[in-house]
Structures are given as C-alpha cells and as structure tokens.
Amino acid sequence: MASGSEGGFWLPPQGSTAAGGVDGLFDFIYWLNVFFFVLITGAVVYFVMKYKRKSDDQLATSQVGHNTLMEATWTFVPLILVIVIFAWGFRTYLNLTVAPEGAYQVKVTGQKWSWNFTHPDGTVNTGELHVPANRPVKLLLSSRDVIHSFFVPDFRIKQDAVPGRYTTAWFQAKAAGEHQVFCTEYCGKDHSAMLAKVLVLSEEEFDAGKWKVSKPPEGMSVADWGGDLYNKVGCKACHSVDGSKLVGPSFKGLFGREEKIQGQDPVMVDENYLRESIMDPQAKIVEGFAPAMPSYKGQLDDAKIDAIIEYIKTLK
Ligand code: CUA
C-alpha cells in the first residue's frame, strides 16, 4: 500500500516530493521519442511509396543536391532538444543529490542480506525505516560486506551502499504510508530477498516515538513476531525452518538438540546458546558449517532476540 499521488501508467505512485520532477522528465523524453518515431517512420513509409519504381523501363531518379535549410533544421532542433534534456536532467539530479540543510539523518547499513537503520538517538531497526512525513530525510549509506544498492521506487531514489565509504541520498515523503525498499545491486544468493519497508508516520506520531519501543505489533504473539523478524532481519537467508541445510544449521528441531561444536564440547541448544550465537556467532561453530555469520550485536535488542528464540522453540 503506497500512498501519494499516481505515478502514471508505467510508474509507481509518487511517494516523495522529488518523484514528480523525475516523472516529468521521463514523460518528456518518452513523448519526444513517440513523436520522432511516428515522424521518421511515417516519412520512410511515405517515401517508399512515392519513389517506388513504377515500371521496368523507368529510369533512375536524378541525384538530389544538398539543402542547407533542411540540414540546418535537423542539426539545430535535436541540438536544442538534447540541451533541454541535459539542463532538466541536471537540475533534477542535483535536487535528488543535495539534501536540504537540517534534514533528519539516518544511517543505512547494508549487509548480506538485510538493511539496518540507525537513527540519530541510537535507535537501530532492521528491515523497517521509520520516518516522518513532510520532513526531509537524509540517508548516509554504507555496507558491511559487498556493494548493495538502496532503491525505493515510490521515492525515485536509488543509491549504492559501498563497504568502506559513505554515500548519501535524501527524500521527503509526502504522506503517511508504507513503501517497499529493494536491493538493486546483485549481492549474492539472497539478493532478491534483501527487502525492507519505509514506514512513513505523521509528524506527531513520529515525534511521539512509540515506534522505537521494541514490542510485537498489535495482536501478534511474541513467537509470531519472532517469525516476522526471522524474515526481516536476514536469518531466513541462511537458516531454513524445514530441516534443509543452507549456509547455517536449520532452525527446525534446533531448540533442545545437542549440537557438535568444532574444537569444543557439544552443547545443548538453549536460550543462552542461541543468544550467544546471535551476538557472537563465531564463539561456537557447529560441525560441518563455516564461520559465515555476521554479529547482530547492536542491531537486535533483548526483546527482539527473545522473540526470535521463542519462534525457534515453536519449530519442532
Ligand atoms: Cu544486497 Cu543485492
């Protein structure tokens, strides 16, 4: 459910203040192409008919010399059109690139295969970016591993998240609502599952700060919330829930099972072991698996870790 005005036949709804400008230029180039396609194809068809050889004894038509007016026209009209497209495109690009002073700044970190959002007060959310409507929001993007790209079609913004450096993007959402985020730079096996949501709240709702409280959404049990987090924070990419072996051990029947640990005594999987594996994944590596998991320290608070553990308990 995206909010905002219509984007047009091919385009998603215009959820940000910049979307109209991008779409305007897109439409201009599109209709310019339609116009010249019809004009040139029409002329080709017309000349084919008109200058067709009509009988076997018809002689070749005389060579036509050059026509200065015509040549000047087909040089200067396209020249002016590409200058217009350049100026329009450059203005729109600058508007997309340079965030207004005093924008609300969120740090966006990509990692295989989830998006983390760090707010100015230290609140961290995974898979959900809460922002106020009608206020500019600046994103400071980076990556923990490979190049990802942060793409919100409704906002018409797309920016690479590169390891070892910061890139920026900004937007101002027009109204409260929900907008889909995609990763749009191929980053490995679960690139297509690297999704998130931008949740635009009214300014009052955002300032009230209830969204910061880590608890299950209305009417959802703790275990179900854990299942929701399993999908959103990236567990899903490496841990199956049906017993199949992925990058990491399956969660099916995990709780209460005895796991063989590389170079250490076996462990009984309980709350403490699960918690340690989320915060410090390299501490105990299960036999037959590589130490591939990133730490979720600072990204998942206690309530979320508890919820994920509750969810794992339900997978018998
Ligand atoms: Cu991250 Cu594709």
239 pocket-lining for ligand 1 (C-beta < 6 Å): no
Domains of the chain and any CATH numbers: 1-36+76-213 (2.60.40.420), 222-314 (1.10.760.10)
pLDDT in tens, 41-67: 999 999 999 888 888 888 777 777 889
269 in ligand 1 pocket by Cβ < 6 Å? no
Cβ(110) – ligand 1 distance below 6 Å: yes
- Whether ligand 1 lies within 6 angstroms of the CB of 187 is answered as yes
Over residues 125-134, the pLDDT tens digits come to: 888 899 999 9
Atom of ligand 1 lying closest to residue 113 CA: 1
CA 265 to ligand 1 center in whole angstroms: 36
Residue among 284, 211, 218 at smallest CA distance from 249:
284
Asked if 225 and 307 count as a contact pair (C-beta separation under 8 A), the reply is yes
Q: Which atom of ligand 1 is nearest to the CA of 146?
A: 1
What ligand 1 atom has the least distance to the C-alpha of 161?
1
Average pLDDT over residues 213-224: 83
Q: State if residue 18 touches ligand 1 by the CB under 6 angstroms criterion.
A: no
Measured from the CA of 186, which atom of ligand 1 is nearest?
Answer: 2
Angle, helix 222-232 to helix 302-314, in steps of 10 degrees? 100
Question: Ligand 1 centre and the CA of 74: distance in Å?
Answer: 44
pLDDT per residue as tens digits for the range 268-292: 899 999 999 998 999 999 988 988 8
pLDDT of residue 131: 95
Query: Mean per-residue pLDDT for 235-245?
Result: 88
**Percentage, residues of the chain above pLDDT 70:** 97
Give the atom of ligand 1 at the shortest distance from the alpha carbon of 188.
2
Q: pLDDT per residue over 171-181, tens digit each?
A: 999 999 999 99
Distance 115 CA to ligand 1 centre (A): 9
Q: Please, is 48 exposed, middle or buried when counting C-beta atoms within 10 Å of its C-beta (0-12, 13-18, 19+)?
A: exposed
Ligand 1 site, residue 132, Cβ cutoff 6 A: no
Closest atom of ligand 1 relative to the 183 alpha carbon: 2
CA of 185 to the centre of ligand 1 (A): 5
State if residue 234 touches ligand 1 by the CB under 6 angstroms criterion: no
**Residue 68 CA to ligand 1 centre (angstroms):** 54
160 lines ligand 1 (CB under 6 A): no
Question: What is the 63 CA–ligand 1 centroid distance (Å)?
Answer: 59
The pLDDT tens digits for 154-190 are 999 999 999 999 999 999 999 999 999 999 999 988 8
